[in-house]
Structure 1
C-alpha cells in the first residue's frame, strides 16, 4: 500500500516574516498563527493547512522570469475576477512583472512584497483543467 501524505504546510523564505504573513493574511483571509514571531510567522486555514514565512539572512528575491535567482516554486490562487483581484493585491503591496505568459488570458503573474512570484487563475478554468 502506498504511503498516504496530506499537505500540511508550505514555507517561504523571506527577509521579514511578519510583513509577508500580513500580506498573505490580508490577501487570503486566512488566520494569523498565534505563535508567529519575527523569525517565523504563519497563517492557517481551518482544515489545518499552514503557510509559513521564515527569516533568511541575506535573502535574495527570485528574478522572474529571469533565472538569475530562480523562483523554485510558486503558489496559484483561484479568483473569480482577474482585474478585481489584481487591483486589491497591488493595493496590498504586490507587484506585477511586465512579462505575462499567455498574455494574461489564463493566469496572471504577480509578486508578493518579498519578490516571490504567484499566479492568479480563473476559478472556472481551474475547475475544468
Structure 2
C-alpha cells in the first residue's frame, strides 16, 4: 500500500513549478509507483491562459475549486470549469486552459508521468522525462 499526503509530497520535492508561471503540480503518484497512471494535484494560477497538446498522454482533469474554461482548438468550443467539473482529453485534444480565479485540479495521466515533466514548446509532456528524485 502507498500512503502519501499532499503536504508531505510538497515538502519532499514532488511539487513542480512551471517555468512559464502558469501552474504548479504536486505529483502524488508516478510511473515508478507501478500503478499504470499518475495522479497530481495541480494549481492553475489566476489569469493563466495557455495552450496545451498532450500528444503522448491522455488526461482527465477534475476541478476541486476555482473557475475558468477549457477551449478545444479543433472546433473553438469553450467549456466552463467550476468545482465538480471534469474534462477528459481522450483524443489528445489540443486545447487552451484559462483560469478566471485560482483553480485546484486533480489530474490523472496515462501513461504515467515520471515526475519532472513541464510543457515543451508544443504544450506537451515528453514520454521519456527524467524520473523524479525525491528528497528524503
> Which protein is richer in helix relative to its size?
1
Query: When the two structures are superposed, what TM-score results if normalisation uses the length of structure 2?
Result: 0.23
User: Which one has more relative contact order, counting CA pairs under 8 Å at least 6 apart?
Assistant: 2
Q: TM-score, normalised by structure 1?
A: 0.24
Q: Which has the higher strand share?
A: 2
**Structure number with bigger Rg:** 1
